[in-house]
Structure 1
Amino acid sequence: MKEVIVIADSRDSQVKAFVKIGGNELYKVLFRKNYKIPKSYMQWRELAALISSQAPLFNNAALDLAHKFTAHRIALWVVKDAPIYCLDNQFFQQFQQTDIGDKNLIFKDLFSQIPLYSMMLLLPTKTLVSPDGGYVDFLNIHCSHIRHPERSEGKKYGISVHFLKHEHDMSLHFGCVDTKGTIWFSGWGINEDDGVIHQRPISYGIAKVGKKDNDFIRELQSLTMQCLMFLTFEKLETEHITFKETINKTGFSNLKESKEKCLYPRWLRDTKNHLPQVRHLKENSSHASPSPHWRRGHWRRSAVGKGRVDRRWNWIKPAFVVGDF
C-alpha cells in the first residue's frame, strides 16, 4: 500500500487535501463499504479518509512511536474487517460519572472473557475536548494476546500487518487523532497469573506531556475500559443502527432507504433502560437541598449462580440527583 502523507494545520484540512488528490487505493475500497452513520457522529467519508491515510504509516521510520502504534492498530482494524460502534450520548455521560474501582481485578476477568479484539468507537461529535482544544470523536481500540498473534496480524486490501510482540501476556491499546490533528495513544499490559496492570510512565510521542495531558489520557483510559466492560459483562449482543437513525430529521430529507448496498455501525447503549435514573430529594429533607448533580456510579463484582460461587461484574449506574420542590 502506497503511503500518502498530507501536511496540514488540522485534521479536517488534512482529510480534505487527501480526498482532493484522490486518496489512495485503500480509500477507494473503504469508501465503497458505504457506512451509514447517525448525523451526530463522525461521517464515513471523513472516517474512511482518515483511516486510509493513517493505516499505511505504521512502518514509516520518520514517525514517533505514538503515531506508528496508532497507525498499526488502525491497520489491524482494516485487515480484520472489525466493527464500528457508536457510543450513545447518554451512555457517554454515564461512563464519565462512573468509577471503575479495582482495575487489576477487572482486567483479569476482562481479558479472559472479552468478546472482540478490535473495534472503532465513535463518540458524539463536539463533546470530548482534548487539552489542545481539539475534539476527540473516535477511538480505535485493540486487545492483543502474546499466545494468539493471529488476532493482531493480517493481510488484506493491500496492507500486510505484522504482530508486534509485547512484554506482557496481554496488551490493550487505544489511539485517535483529534480534530486539531494531535495523536493520542496509550494502553496497558497485563499478565494472566496475577492480573496486575503494568503501565510505563513514559510518552511514546515527541511532544512533552503535561498534567492536563495525563489527566485527559486517564479520562480516555476510563472511557475505553468501560466500553469494553459493558460489552463483556453487561451486553454481549448489540443492535445495529437503523436507516431512520442516520437521516436528518429536519428539512426535506429523503426518508426512503436507498437500494444501494451499505453497512451500519452498532449501538453501544442500553435498549431496555435507555434513560438515566433520576433521583428526587424530598422537600422535608433534614439538610439543604444541593444543586442538581450526578451521584457517581461504580462497577461491582457480585456472587451469582448455584451456591453463589461464581462472580459477575455489574454496572451500578450513576443517578442524576435533583431537588423535589
Structure 2
Amino acid sequence: MKRIILDPNNLNRNRTLAAFEKVNKDLLVKIRADRTYKMPPNYINWQILSGIAAIALSTCEPDYAKIDVSAFIHSYRTALWFAQDAPIYCLTKELIGAFDRTDALHKPGILAGWQPSLPTFMLAIPKGLIFTPDGGEIDYLTVSCSDCEHPEWNRGKWRHVEIEPFNLKHHLYFQICTVDSNETVWTSGTAIGDNGVLIYDETSSIGKSIMSPADKEFVQRIRNLVINALLALEFSPSLLTDVTETEAKTKSKGFAIERTSSNTRYPRWFGKNYQSQSVLSTGKGTHLSPCTHWRRGHWRVLESCEGKRWRDTKRLWIEPVLVNP
C-alpha cells in the first residue's frame, strides 16, 4: 500500500470535506439525490462517504495522475465503485478479529483459478478498530478486481463523468484504496499469477512518502483482511445478512422524521452473527495443558483448480480457535 498526505497543513478529513462541499455543493446535491445509504451506528455515514465519492468523481481523470499517482488511483477506484452502484459490506469487529487470526497471505495457491463475482465493492470498518501507524483511522476500504477478459469492470459512467479503463500489466489483479482520518491515501495492488501465486512488490512505491517497516506491517494486515473477505464472499455466504431499516435508524433531531425514499440503499452485514470458537485441551499425556492461546485459522483448498471453474472448487475456512480460554 502506498501513501501520501493530501494536504500536510490540514490533517483532518472532515474539514477538507466541509471545504469541498462549499465549492462543489451542486455536485453533492446531485449525488445525494441519486442515492442515500442508511448505515448502522458506529460505521462511516453517508454524509462523509458521499463527500469522498464527490471528490473521487471530480479527480478521476488521467490528468490527475500527473499530480500524484496514488491519489488518482484512489479517486479512480472509488469513482468506479460509485458509478457502478456497487455494494457496501459492514464488517463486524468479531469477523475482522477472526480474519486477523487467519493467514491467507502465505497459503500456497490460495487464489488459484480466481474468478471474482464482484468487480468492485466497499468494506465499511467499525469506528475505533483499525488505525494506521501514524494514528489515522480507517473506516472504509474500496476493493476493486481487474480481469483482462473483462475490461468493462474498469469502465463506468455517472452523469457527465466517464471513467475509462487503463492498460493492465497482469491478467488478474485486485486493488485496495482508502483515505484515513489524517488525509493519508493508502493504496495497494496485488496480482494473481499462475497457480494462484500472489505477486506483490514491497519495495516499490508510487506515493510521495517512504514506507516504514510499521507501514509495511500495516499493509500486510489490510491485504490479509481483504483476501479473507474475497474468499468469504465466494465460499462463506452464510456470513452475509441484510442490514434492516431498524438497525440503520439514526436519532432524529428535534421533531424531525427520518424518511425512507426510493433512492435509499442499505449495506449488508458481513459477519453479524459470527462468534469466535473456543476449546479446552484434552490434557492427554504427561505434558501440561498449554496456556491460553489462539490457534490460527487458514483456508483449506480441497480440490485442484486445474480443469475446473473457480466456483466448482472448494475452499473451506478453518476458523481460528481460542484454546483453553
TM-score normalised by length of structure 1: 0.84
Write out the 4+ residue segments of structure 1 that deviate beyond 4 Å after TM superposition.
Answer: 101-104, 251-254, 281-286
Residue in 2 that maps onto 1:127:
129
| Matched residue SS, 1:69 | helix
| Matched residue SS, 2:182 | coil
Q: 8 Å contact 2:300–2:317 — kept in the other structure? A: yes
Find 1:177's aligned residue among 179, 195, 199. 179
Cα pair distance change 1:270/1:11, threshold 3 Å: closer
Q: 8 Å contact 1:277–1:319 — kept in the other structure? A: yes
User: What per-residue deviation string (whole Å, max 9, x for no partner) do you get for residues 60-97 of structure 1?
Assistant: 14532111111111111121111111111111110011
Q: 8 Å contact 2:124–2:139 — kept in the other structure? A: yes
Instruction: Tell me by how many angstroms 1:281 deviates.
Output: 4.6
Residue in 2 that maps onto 1:69:
73
User: What per-residue deviation string (whole Å, max 9, x for no partner) do you get for residues 16-67 of structure 1?
Assistant: 2223x05344422332312110111111111111121133213314532111
Map of 1:222-261 to 2, 5 A cutoff? 222-235=224-237, 238-247=240-249, 258-261=259-262
Which has the higher mean CA deviation after the structures are superposed, 24-33 or 61-70?
24-33
User: What per-residue deviation string (whole Å, max 9, x for no partner) do you get for residues 181-231 of structure 1?
Assistant: 11111111234x543332233011011111111111111100111111100
Instruction: Tell me by how many angstroms 1:263 deviates.
Output: 1.2
CA–CA distance in structure 2, aligned partners of residues 265 and 233 of structure 1: 20
Map of 1:99-178 to 2, 5 A cutoff? 99-100=103-104, 102-103=106-107, 105-109=109-113, 111-112=114-115, 114-178=116-180
Identify which of structures 1 and 2 has the higher relative contact order when contacts are C-alpha pairs closer than 8 Å and 6+ apart.
2
Q: 8 Å contact 2:88–2:123 — kept in the other structure? A: yes
CA–CA distance in structure 1, aligned partners of residues 139 and 78 of structure 2: 15
Find 1:316's aligned residue among 312, 315, 318. 318
CA–CA distance in structure 2, aligned partners of residues 234 and 138 of structure 1: 21
Q: 8 Å contact 1:302–1:314 — kept in the other structure? A: yes
Instruction: Tell me by how many angstroms 1:13 deviates.
Output: 1.5
Cα pair distance change 1:61/1:96, threshold 3 Å: closer
Report how many aligned residue pairs link the two structures.
305
CA–CA distance in structure 2, aligned partners of residues 161 and 49 of structure 1: 18
Unaligned segments of structure 1, at least 5 residues: 305-309
CA–CA distance in structure 2, aligned partners of residues 280 and 103 of structure 1: 27
Residue in 2 that maps onto 1:307:
none
Find 1:50's aligned residue among 35, 49, 52. 52
RMSD: 2.9
Q: 8 Å contact 1:103–1:197 — kept in the other structure? A: no
TM-score normalised by length of structure 2: 0.84
CA–CA distance in structure 1, aligned partners of residues 219 and 30 of structure 2: 32
Letter in 2 for 1:196: V
Residue in 2 that maps onto 1:195:
196
CA–CA distance in structure 2, aligned partners of residues 55 and 227 of structure 1: 26
Cα pair distance change 1:195/1:123, threshold 3 Å: same
Residue in 2 that maps onto 1:28:
29
CA–CA distance in structure 2, aligned partners of residues 117 and 259 of structure 1: 28
Q: 8 Å contact 1:247–1:253 — kept in the other structure? A: no
User: What per-residue deviation string (whole Å, max 9, x for no partner) do you get for residues 138-173 of structure 1?
Assistant: 000100111211111122132111111111111110
Cα pair distance change 1:31/1:104, threshold 3 Å: farther
Identical residues among aligned pairs (%): 28
CA–CA distance in structure 1, aligned partners of residues 250 and 54 of structure 2: 27
CA–CA distance in structure 2, aligned partners of residues 253 and 279 of structure 1: 50
CA–CA distance in structure 2, aligned partners of residues 149 and 236 of structure 1: 30
Letter in 2 for 1:17: A
Cα pair distance change 1:195/1:275, threshold 3 Å: closer
CA–CA distance in structure 1, aligned partners of residues 253 and 28 of structure 2: 30
Q: 8 Å contact 1:123–1:137 — kept in the other structure? A: yes
Letter in 2 for 1:57: T
CA–CA distance in structure 1, aligned partners of residues 197 and 77 of structure 2: 23
